[in-house]
Amino acid sequence: MKQDIDAVLEGWAYQPGGVQARLVRARDGRQVIQLRVDLGVLQLETTGRPDGTRPHGSATYFEYLQRQARKARRADRDFTLDEDQCREADREFVQFYHRRVSWLALKQYDKALRDADHTLAFMDFVKRHSPADEYTQAHEQYRGFVLFQRTQAAAALQVEHDRPEQAIDEVRTGLDQLRAFFAALELEEQMEDDRMVQHLRRIEAKLREQYHIAATLQEQLAEAVAREDYEQAARLRDQLKGRD
Q: What is the pTM of this model?
A: 0.89
- The domain 49-215 is classified under which CATH number: 1.10.3470, 1.10.10, 2.40.160, 1.25.40? 1.25.40
**pLDDT per residue as tens, the chain (244 positions):** 567 788 788 888 888 888 999 999 998 999 999 999 998 999 999 999 999 999 999 999 999 999 999 999 999 999 999 999 999 999 999 999 999 999 999 999 999 999 999 999 999 999 999 999 999 999 999 999 999 999 999 999 999 999 999 999 999 999 999 999 999 999 999 999 999 999 999 999 999 999 999 988 888 888 888 888 878 888 888 888 877 6
CB 153 within 8 A of CB 116: yes
Q: Measure the CA–CA gap between 120 and 122, rounded to whole angstroms.
A: 5
- What does the domain layout of the chain look like in residue ranges? 49-215, 216-244
First to last CA, the chain: 55
CB 34 within 8 A of CB 42: yes
Residues 6+ apart with CB under 8 A from 160: 109
